[in-house]
Amino acid sequence: MLLALGFAVFAIQGCEDFETEPQDSIVGIDTPDEVAATLFSAYNSIYNMMGNHGNYNSVQEVSSDEALIAVKGGDWGDGGIWVRAHNHTFTPDEGYFEGSWNSCYTAINQINNGFIDFDGNPGLTPEVKSELQALRALYYFFLLDMFGNVPIITEDGNQGQQDRTTVYNFILDEIAAVQPNLSTGNLIGRMDYWTMQALKAKMLINQEVYTGTPTNWQAVVVACDDIIDNGPYSLSSSYQAIFDQNNGGNSEHIYAIPFDEVFGQGFNLGQMTGHYLTRETFGSQDQPWNGYATVTDFYNLYIDSDINPGPQGDVVGLDPQGTIVSGTRDGRLVNFLVGDQTDMNGNALSDDAAEGDDPNGATLTFTPFINELEPGSWRQAGARINKYTLYNGFLPNLNNDKPIFRLTDILLMKAEAMHNMTPGNGLSIVNQIRQRAGVDGFDELNDENLLQERGREMFFEMWRRNDQIRFGTFNDAWQFKGEDPSDHVNIFPIPRTIVEASGLQQNPGY
Is-contact 115 129, C-beta < 8 A?
yes
Is-contact 69 108, C-beta < 8 A?
no
Is-contact 332 457, C-beta < 8 A?
yes
Element at 334 (helix H, strand E): none
Query: Please, is 86 exposed, middle or buried when counting C-beta atoms within 10 Å of its C-beta (0-12, 13-18, 19+)?
Result: buried
**357 domain residue, yes or no:** no
Q: Please write the tens of the pLDDT for every residue from 25-36.
A: 444 444 557 788
Return the pLDDT at 37: 81
**269 domain residue, yes or no:** no
Looking at the structure of the chain, the number of domains it has is 1
Q: Is pLDDT at 19 greater than 80 in this prediction?
A: no
Confidence category of residue 314, pLDDT binned at 50, 70, 90: very low
**140 domain residue, yes or no:** yes
Average pLDDT, rounded, for the chain: 90
Confidence category of residue 395, pLDDT binned at 50, 70, 90: very high
Q: Please write the tens of the pLDDT for every residue from 74-127.
A: 899 999 999 999 999 999 999 999 999 999 999 999 999 999 988 888 889 999
CA terminus-to-terminus distance, the chain: 36
Residues 6+ apart with CB under 8 A from 52: 17, 18, 266, 267, 268
DSSP 440: P
Q: Is pLDDT at 10 greater than 50 in this prediction?
A: no
**Residue 104: domain span:** 1-21+32-182+481-510
Taking the C-alpha atoms of residue 285 and residue 398, their distance in angstroms, rounded to an integer, is 11
More confident residue, 4 or 83: 83
Q: Is pLDDT at 326 greater than 90 in this prediction?
A: no
CATH number of the domain at 169, please. 1.25.40.390
Residues 6+ apart with CB under 8 A from 141: 171, 199, 202, 203
Is-contact 244 430, C-beta < 8 A?
no
Q: Is pLDDT at 135 greater than 90 in this prediction?
A: yes
Q: Please write the tens of the pLDDT for every residue from 155-207.
A: 999 999 999 999 999 999 999 999 999 999 988 999 999 999 999 999 999 99
**151 domain residue, yes or no:** yes
**171 domain residue, yes or no:** yes
Is-contact 336 384, C-beta < 8 A?
yes
**311 domain residue, yes or no:** no
**219 domain residue, yes or no:** no
Return the pLDDT at 308: 46
Backbone angles phi, psi at 293, to 5 degrees: -140, 170
**72 domain residue, yes or no:** yes
Mean pLDDT (whole number) for 129-145: 97
Taking the C-alpha atoms of residue 484 and residue 125, their distance in angstroms, rounded to an integer, is 49
Q: Please write the tens of the pLDDT for every residue from 355-388.
A: 999 999 999 999 999 999 999 999 999 999 999 9
Instruction: Report pTM.
Output: 0.91
Confidence category of residue 2, pLDDT binned at 50, 70, 90: very low
